[in-house]
Structure 1
Amino acid sequence: MSTVVKVLQETDEPWAVKSGGHNPNKWMASVQGGPLISTANLNEVIYNRPSQTIRFGPGQSWENITDALKPYGVAVVGGRLGNVGVGGYMLGGGLSFMSAEYGWAADNVVEFEVVTANGDILKATNSTNSDLFESLKGGGSMFGIVTSYTTHARPVGDVWGGWRIYTGGKSKEMLAAVRDFTENYPDPKAAIIATAEVTLGSLADIWVVFFWYNGPEPPKDTFKQFDNIRHIIDQTKTRTLDALMRFNDIFVLKNSIYTIGTETTVLPNKTVGAEVMEAFYDSWHKNAVSVKDVVGAVASIAFQPMPKVIPQISKASGGVVLDFDDKVDRIVFELDYSYWYAKDDARIDQIMQKTYTELGDTVRRFQQQGKLPEAHLPLFMNDMYFRQDFWGRLKNKDKHVATMKKYDPSGFMSNTKRTQGFYVRQ
């Protein structure tokens, strides 16, 4: 990798790096007219029992890492679906089912091995190249090419989880359940992803809720908000972690074109909860149904709880670039559009921008009305659309820009004429 970077420095060709495969958006891990650098062979998974750490390569997927670690009863704080790739996930911060216990995935990193813009191979830890270490914990790809991650090993045995499907007619109940679950977070071992979907030309509105409990069985009432809503399919049970990861992959629509985007909101209080949560849903839904004539279109919005406990744990471990504070509970939205044919790219591009812009406008309108408090609302890089501005929503931008200029004074890694990513907009 060092040699590759040095050679690229002598050319003016566009280039890109592809790791295990995380962000499906246009321009991510792809290039035209230049070399695509694959990390597929950087696929080691090494468990160090004495230090209770795990070293793994960026070319891996989470299901393969989980398989390799199963005999040892340990896991990486990592992806929630098995086929998700490692590299982009880790560099974007990484939201995990275990984040309420251990923070972001990046909080669990103890060492990065990274090739910088001049081809140097560096180790970055909290004591060696510590500024680079801090910026790699969720700051994306503009600081170098990471060739391995070493993280804490976390104990894991059988877990409880899977998913339930609910009809779209349960939307008001689902939105209330998500709000209440986030505010009254029941147990750090518990997690959910609540996803509303529009498919089959808007004929099928459904909710798919992914459940997780880090143990063989959740205590009674852990998920009471959702237990009280009638479902049509229940696929939750006790499983091994590797089995759960692969089972969750069933909702990955292979051979479709995917786009993802995001927005962040403060959690509304109970008094205005129904009004605010339903407005978020309605803002998304009117855009989602507008693409019903696009062949193969599936639109979804995931409500991802971001309780105060996650930034609290992150802060205690040194924090990540994504500077959520622990003053309020939040929800991180993931917006997805998938479809079959490239001829619809421009149409989906427009509707994605409209969807996240109008959702953000809805958040700000409620803040102006006093129905949501003012709060810091950064964007979660792992769910961002390629047109969104990660660094423009952070308070700590200048610190990390200084680190970038130190290790890459010419801006080679973030030259948007040659490569793409979530870089600082000048």
Structure 2
Amino acid sequence: MIKAVRDFTEYCEDDKAAVILTAERAVVGAVDSWILFLFYDGPEPSKEVFQNFTDIGAVLNTARKRSFADMIAWSNWVVLPGFNVLGGTETIPLPDASKAETVLGDIHAHWRPVPKRIVQKARERSPDLIGMDDSVDRLIMEVNFIFLLPSDYEKMQGVMKETYSGIREKVVGWQKDGTLPDAYVPILMSYGNSQQDYFARLKPESRALAKSVASKVDPKGLFRDRTGGWKP
């Protein structure tokens, strides 16, 4: 599975295809399973697009043709009423094929490919705040913890911080020793944890742009002072 998601990120040239690979662990590691989300924005993908994944086989296959409305409604199965959920994220450069098992095998999380093609398409349309370059393929890693008691929230925030910080430390170490390329790896705002510093991971020019826009549209600081979330 790790090799399949790594190779998909580098080699897939079909802009209609997308993958999210999820590693699920529960009951103190007694349950260790994979959930794979495949998406194709078209009538029918070619056999080769997802073949590295489908050749592995599945215990349960729920893939089918759906409308966008049906797909969004169906995705509610992941919502667990009565449980608390914490999320965090990290971004890593895609490892070379010879080093994929070392890097990805050491980080058991959610893998969301960000191939160069996505960045190239975004840059063709217009500049954006995150400002990724297309020098490398990347993987966005999302970490989620699900727990029952609200009283455990502070403790789980500590666990979350240890987790995403640990991933970051590993990535920086691999970049220093040449295992991973020394590439720009901002975090994705959509999945960031409140403790993570989103703007600190942006390029200086992007941070300056965010501050400039904020000062123009919110000169009196209404949203800055009365809303939550990250501030430039």
TM-score range, shorter chain: over 0.9
Q: Indicate which of 148, 162, 171 corresponds to 1:340.
A: 148
**1:264–1:377 contact (8 Å) kept in structure 2:** yes
- Percent of pairs with identical residues: 32
The structure where strand makes up a greater share of residues is 1
Which residue is 2:74 aligned to?
A: 247
Shift, 1:305, TM fit: 0.3
Q: For 1:181 and 1:254, locate their aligned partners in 2 and report how far apart those are by CA, in whole Å.
A: 34
| 1:167-194 deviation line (CA, Å, top 9, x unaligned) | xxxxxxx111110110112411110110
2:215 to 402, 405, 410: 405
**Shift of residue 421, structure 1, vs aligned partner:** 0.8
1:272 to 99, 104, 111: 99
CA deviation after TM superposition for structure 1 residue 239, in Å: 2.0
Amino acid at match of 1:403: V
Cα distance per residue 1:36-66 (max 9 Å; x no partner):
xxxxxxxxxxxxxxxxxxxxxxxxxxxxxxx
Residue in structure 1 matched with residue 182 of structure 2 by the alignment: 374
Distance 1:349 1:420 in 2: 17
Equivalence map 1:118-197=2 (5 Å): 174-197=1-24
**Matching residue's letter, 1:234:** N
| Equivalent-residue separation in structure 2 for 1:374 and 1:202 (angstroms) | 33
Q: Distance between the aligned counterparts of 1:391 and 1:271, measured in 2? A: 33
Residues 279 and 362 of structure 1 are in contact (CA less than 8 Å); yes or no, is this contact kept in structure 2?
no
**Following the alignment from structure 1 to structure 2, what is the Cα–Cα distance between the partners of residues 371 and 207?**
26
Residues in 2 aligned to 1:400 and 1:419: alpha-carbon distance in whole angstroms: 16
Tell me by how many angstroms 1:409 deviates: 2.5
Q: Distance in 1 between matches of 2:20 and 2:47?
A: 19
Contact 1:335–1:356 under 8 Å retained in 2 = yes
The one of the two structures with greater contact order (alpha-carbon pairs below 8 A, sep at least 6) is 2
Q: Deviations over 1:82-134 (max 9, x none)?
A: xxxxxxxxxxxxxxxxxxxxxxxxxxxxxxxxxxxxxxxxxxxxxxxxxxxxx
Q: Which residue of 1 aligns with 2:170?
A: 362
SS of alignment partner, residue 386 of structure 1: coil
Shift of 1:221: 1.3
Q: 1:241 to 1:419 in 2, by over 3 A?
A: closer
Residue 324 of structure 1 aligns with which residue? 132
Residue 275 of structure 1 and its aligned partner are, at CA, apart by 1.1
**Residue 261 (str. 1) matches residue 88 (str. 2):** yes
Kindly state the Cα deviation for residue 217 of structure 1 after the two structures are TM-superposed. Answer: 1.8
Amino acid corresponding to residue 194 of structure 1 in structure 2: L
Q: Deviation at 1:225? A: 1.2
Structure 1 counterpart of 2:55, one-letter code:
N
**For 2:110 and 2:80, how far apart are their aligned partners in 1?**
16
Which is greater in Rg?
Answer: 1
Contact 1:265/1:377, CA 8 A, preserved across alignment: yes
Comparing 347-356 with 318-327, which one deviates more in the overlay?
318-327
Structure 1 residue 310 displacement after superposition = 1.0
How far apart in 2 are the matches of 1:201 and 1:279? 18
The alignment partner of 2:194 has SS state of coil
* Aligned counterparts, 1:223-238, within 5 A: 223-238=50-65
State the shift of 1:249 in Å.
2.0
Deviation readout 1:239-284 (Å, 9 max, x if unpaired)? 2222222222212222211111000000001121111111222xxx
Which letter maps to 1:390?
Y
After TM superposition, where is structure 1 displaced by more than 6 Å over at least 4 residues in a row?
Answer: none
Shift of 1:327: 1.1
Deviations 1:326-367 (A, max 9, x none): 111000011101111111112101100000000011111110
Normalising by the residue count of structure 1, what TM-score does the alignment of the two structures yield? Answer: 0.53
* Deviation at residue 320 of structure 1 after TM alignment: 2.0
What is the number of equivalent residue pairs in this alignment? 230
Question: Match for residue 48 of structure 2?
Answer: 221
1:385 aligned onto 2:189: no
Task: Show the 5 A alignment for 1:17-56.
Answer: none
Give matches, 1:273-288, under 5 Å: 273-281=100-108
Q: Whole-Å Cα distance in 2 between the matches of residues 350 and 400 of structure 1?
A: 29
Alpha-carbon RMSD across the aligned residues, in angstroms, is: 1.3
Question: Where does the alignment leave 5 or more consecutive residues of structure 1 unmatched?
Answer: 1-173, 282-300
Higher helix share: 2
Give yes or no for the alignment of 1:204 onto 2:12.
no
Gaps of 5+ in 2: none
* Per-residue deviation, 1:230: 2.6
Which AA in structure 2 matches 1:401?
Answer: K
Aligned partners of 1:216 and 1:239 also within 8 Å: no
d(CA) in 2 for partners of 1:319, 1:233: 41
Give the secondary-structure state (helix, strand or coil) at the position aligned to 1:271: helix
SS in 2 for 1:367: helix
